[in-house]
Structure 1
Amino acid sequence: MIAELHQRYIGLELLHDLVSDEGTLLLKRGTVLSEPLLRKINVSVDQLEYALQGASNKNKDNPIDLIEGAANEIRDIFEKFKKDKHALTQIESTVLPTVELLAREERLATLLEGLFDKDNYTYRHNIGVSVVASMLANWLHFSEEDRKKITLGGLLHDIGKLELSDGVLTKPGRLSNEEFAEIKMHPTYGYELLKIGSIYSEDICLMALEHHEREDGTGYPYQKGANEIHPFSKVIAIADVFHAMTSDRVYRKGHSLYAVLKHIKDESFGKLEPTYAAMFVTKFMELSIGQYAELSNGEVAEIVFIFPQDPINPLVRLHDELIELGKTNLYITKLIAS
């Protein structure tokens, strides 16, 4: 039964609540079925089929639609959380399975297009960080349990911003010193919010607290050093930098992919965990092989090979000619869907 469920039902979205024979709610309508969820529930095929009537496979849907839906879902949950602190746990049954699907998405260019859109940025950022952190945790061979914690931590890392004024969060320009000081309080607020009622374990709460801390002690809010920062938080820090820099914002365009990956590489010398940062840059570019990229001259090339010593300057095919970008003044601005 389990093997059959995994093969047939992973990636499907429930169109009805899934309930047990005793009438207990097992999964809410809108939940995207994942392998871990299917292993936990004990229901018949008929019960699943009823809850899935007319469902389409989310793996085959456009990642942009999935991201938009997940961002809206997390926005609604955060709004409920302001009145009901236990509402936050809905994320694990609704948003988390979608993020886990997105983290396995092979259409990287389309995935990034959805993650980097400036619309609904505040909530889309949580999705983006969670997806990227889940990918990195997998590349670093964290255990399945720890990877799931990191994925959830990515969804919750910025929850402290609920305590900040909308004027500061959406200001289309440079922040004043006072406004930036307010922004720098969000990790502390997030940690305190997640500790309420002891719903979440300390390592998940620490991802909210420490994602702006840096290896050399120059981060905030407590200027922790490399030996004081939780490994999960170090993963979230890299994902946070990547998504924040590459995303379009109301006051600026996202930076080029080359610039962001180079920044992460440079920050590995003191700011970001060096092993994690190097793994992220290398594996991200390996995943880009076979994808198409826009170059700094506006032309489109196919990434065909990456050099281990310089992964952000790959070998590309342009007009049937193979070009080593590291030997030119060209660089990748973004991946594009073929």
Structure 2
Amino acid sequence: MEREYVKVSKDIIDSILADDVYTRGGNMIVPSDTFISEHIIKKLNAFRVERVTIYRSHSILGNEYLSDKSISESQKQYIEDVNATKSILRGLASGKELDMDNVKTITDSVYERLGDVGSIIECINSIKVADQYTYSHSVNVAFYAMLLGKWMNLSKLQIKDLAMAGLLHDIGKTKISAEIINKKGPLNENEFEVIKRHPIYGYDIIKGFSDIAIDIKRAVILHHEKENGTGYPFGIQGNKKNLYAKIITAADIFDAITSERVYKEKQTPFSAFKEMEKIGYDIVDPMVMGVMFDNMPRYYIGSKVKLDNGEIGEVVYVPSSCAYAPVVKIKEDFVDFAKEKEALISELL
């Protein structure tokens, strides 16, 4: 994205900082990627910062990407949803109140695609940007939660609630320093203790909004609680989690595994199924995970995959009883990964 070195004034409100801003003594005042609000302008003026570098475009992938004719309309809408989510989260990080109108608009956009599951999954798989994970993850979890609700035959209102819960589940992270959120490596014990507060921060942000259902609020504060009681922030067991929270937990874990992040490469959906089966029902509700395994794998049939030996194949079958072991056609041969112990799928193309 293009950058511009500009004078600090109210004219740059709603822009995004392209570089960290420091005092003359070398202390950071505002981190890069911060949404510039009136509060931020006052802060910069208080430290006598005269000029800053901003992005000219707010787009997560740039206007050039959105204008690319090879991008489908569904993918363009997905990018716009991520950009709108980015605006919400950056606004919160800069001291603004939650933009509830925008939250509802994105929720409606996600819900409108309920009938096109294949397109949703294709969008999520085809557009993964490591340094924008925070924003795309919220939209992805909204999609996955909505699909799980659909497969569980929940009501339209419940499915729409789940989309909103997914969108809001991590908003508490806006109250945690960018240095911790964007750290390129494992968190130390103190940093992890800070991160463990984000469900409570998220609940605090939304608790006063009467138009957010109580089950959504519970999903936000409970989505990191585990079935065996070893989660956070309260350490409660699964029988004390509401259904929305259980669904968000599964969606959150699946997207985290299959997303590329600043400190790790993304894994294939098949690796995610295997890892989720490995962590088992100590973390994820058995019924919710069963619904995921019974329904999601079929949408990867027809996908092109790359093996670790460089060969390219096509997924032709995925057994729900062994979702991480598809049958792949490679040229004229068929490889059953339930039996094959040597070859591995390294990438979903």
On whether the aligned pair clears a TM of 0.5, the verdict is yes
| Structure 1 equivalent of residue 316 of structure 2 | 304
1:333 equivalent in structure 2:
346
After superposition, the CA RMSD in angstroms is 2.2
Superimposed CA distance per residue, residues 73-114 of structure 1 (whole angstroms, 9 cap, x where no aligned partner):
112123445655352232112x12332355524246742334
Structure 2 residue 83 is the aligned partner of structure 1 residue 72:
yes
Q: Decide which of 129, 132, 135 is 2:141's aligned counterpart.
A: 129
Tell me what 2:242 maps to.
Answer: 230
The CA distance in 1 between the partners of 2:331 and 2:143, in whole Å, is 33
Percent identity of paired positions between Structure 1 and Structure 2? 27
Relative to structure 1, is the Cα distance of residues 331 and 257 closer, same or farther in structure 2, using a 3 angstrom cutoff? farther
User: How do residues 83-122 of structure 1 correspond to structure 2 at under 5 angstroms?
Assistant: 84-85=96-97, 87-93=99-105, 95-101=106-112, 104-107=116-119, 110-122=122-134
| Aligned pairs (5 A) from 1:1-338 | 61-81=72-92, 84-85=96-97, 87-93=99-105, 95-101=106-112, 104-107=116-119, 110-329=122-341, 330-336=343-349
Q: Give the conservation status (yes or no) of the 8 Å contact 1:64–1:113.
A: no
Task: Give, in angstroms, the shift of residue 139 of structure 1.
Answer: 1.3
- 1:218 is paired with a residue of what secondary structure? coil
The residue type equivalent to 1:69 in the other structure is E
Residue 152 of structure 1: how far off its partner (Å): 0.6
Summarize the Cα distance change of 1:108–1:124 in structure 2 as closer, same or farther, 3 Å threshold. Answer: closer
Shift of 1:277: 0.8
Q: Judging changes above 3 Å, is the alpha-carbon distance between structure 1 residues 133 and 296 closer, same or farther for their aligned structure 2 residues?
A: farther
* Preserved CA contact (<8 Å) 2:84 2:102: no
Aligned equivalents of 1:102 and 1:334: distance in 2? 26
Which fold has the larger relative contact order, with Cα–Cα distance below 8 Å and residues 6 or more apart in sequence?
1
> How far 1:184 moved relative to its partner?
0.4
Letter in 1 for 2:318: I
- Matched residue of 1:128: which SS? helix
TM-score, L = length of structure 2: 0.73
Q: How many corresponding residue pairs?
A: 277
Cα displacement (A) at 1:332: 3.1
Conserved 8 A contact 2:224-2:249: yes
Against the structure 1 CA distance between its residues 176 and 257, is the aligned structure 2 distance closer, same or farther, given a 3 Å change threshold?
Answer: same
Within 2, Cα distance between the matches of 1:108 and 1:199? 27
Going from structure 1 to structure 2, the CA distance change for 1:221 and 1:164 (only over 3 Å counts) comes to: same
CA distance in 2, matches of 1:298, 1:203: 46
* Structure 1 pair 182–267 and aligned structure 2 pair: CA distance change class (3 A): same
Q: Which residue of 2 aligns with 1:20?
A: none
Partners of 1:115 and 1:229 lie apart in 2 by 32
TM-score, structure 1 as length reference: 0.76
Structure 2 unaligned regions, length at least 5: 1-66
> What CA distance in whole angstroms lies between the structure 1 residues aligned with 2:109 and 2:330?
35
Which shows bigger deviation, 183-192 or 114-123? 114-123
1:218 deviation in Å?
Answer: 0.8
Secondary structure in structure 1 of the residue aligned to 2:265: coil
Gaps of 5+ in 1: 1-55
Any conservation in 1 of the 2:88–2:98 contact (CA below 8 Å)? Answer: no
CA distances 1:276-323 after superposition (whole Å, capped 9, x unpaired): 112212311111122222233332222222224222212221112222
Contact 2:224 2:231 in 1 (8 A): yes
